[in-house]
Amino acid sequence: MSDLMPPTIDDIRNAARRIDGYAVRTPLLESHLLSEQMGARILIKPECLQRVGAFKFRGAFNRLSQLSEEEKKIGVVAFSSGNHAQGVAAAAKILGIKATIVMPSDAPKMKRDNTIAYGAKVVGYDRENEDREQVAAKIVGDSGAVVVPPFEDPDIIAGQGTAALEVVEQAAKSGVKLDQFLCPVGGGGLLSGCSTVFSALSGDTEVFGVEPKDFDDVARSLALGEIQENASQSGSICDALMTPSPGKLTYQIIKENVSDILRVSDEEVLAAIKYAWEKLKLVVEPGGAVALAAVLSGKVDVQGKTVCILLSGGNVDAETYKRALEI
């Protein structure tokens, strides 16, 4: 059990007010082609169109905007393979806060370059042989900077949950009742926040997390009743989802709110990236495409149902994108 308190629906509503005017209220798109293909009504929440190209800006801005004036002067440190890095760097720039980001040396070049472009200092580490939290802790010890975790934080989770709050509001406005909601899961911040919203506002909606099949720590954790770690920290194209394990808080929330965790292969993800480009006209990164991959590959029965798929990010490097488009 985590010592941290899970965010409530009111916390998520407050987060939505804080990020209003800074984060993009991404649309809820209906794909008639995909709906026809799957025998369902498929809606897309494209967080690849979010500021910094990923949902991560939501949680980062919600967390940083609540720092005290003293904390803002000292600065922040975060550890991330890319999207949380960019989210924190962009939020810090807007709020006038100095940011240092600990990034794995094998992070996609685009994500690293973008993080630096937002004004953050990047410190590299070897994800197989070094612990990113220890690297960050040394920086904190030297500078006193505030750590902004990628997922194990109630304010981060609340910020990420605003994506689902928008989905519920947008669906209601269109007179749509969602049967299923699918989103990627790495450390679990997005899935925790989104599942909290559906639990509070649309309890009949089944919520599914989707992760790479060789990095299925969340699925294994739920199956075994305790947190499991991934054996490796590299080896999937879904760099955004290769966290060591879910957090205590995110695990607790997911365990209570989520129907199931689905697994997809790299090949299925590449096919989903290509489909998003060809049919949806959206650029999606591997980790951001896993929910779409799960639907396209039949990992969940969507027949006759109204389904929302969240595409969590679009920061894909040219080499991976080329590989997807050529399959």
Question: What's the N-to-C CA distance of the chain in angstroms?
Answer: 44
**HSE-CB of 73 using CA atoms within 13 angstroms:** 3
Output the CA angle 110-113-116, nearest 5 degrees: 150
Q: Which of 56, 111, 274, 299 is catalytic?
A: 56
User: Is 56 among the catalytic positions?
Assistant: yes
Question: Distance (Å, rounded) from C-alpha 253 to C-alpha 157?
Answer: 10
CB 246 within 8 A of CB 216: no
Output the CA angle 88-93-94, nearest 5 degrees: 100
Question: Distance (Å, rounded) from C-alpha 290 to C-alpha 238?
Answer: 8
User: Is 312 among the catalytic positions?
Assistant: yes
Output the CA angle 208-151-53, nearest 5 degrees: 80
Q: Which of 31, 80, 195, 312 is catalytic?
A: 312
Question: Distance (Å, rounded) from C-alpha 77 to C-alpha 98?
Answer: 9
* Residue numbers annotated as active site: 56, 312
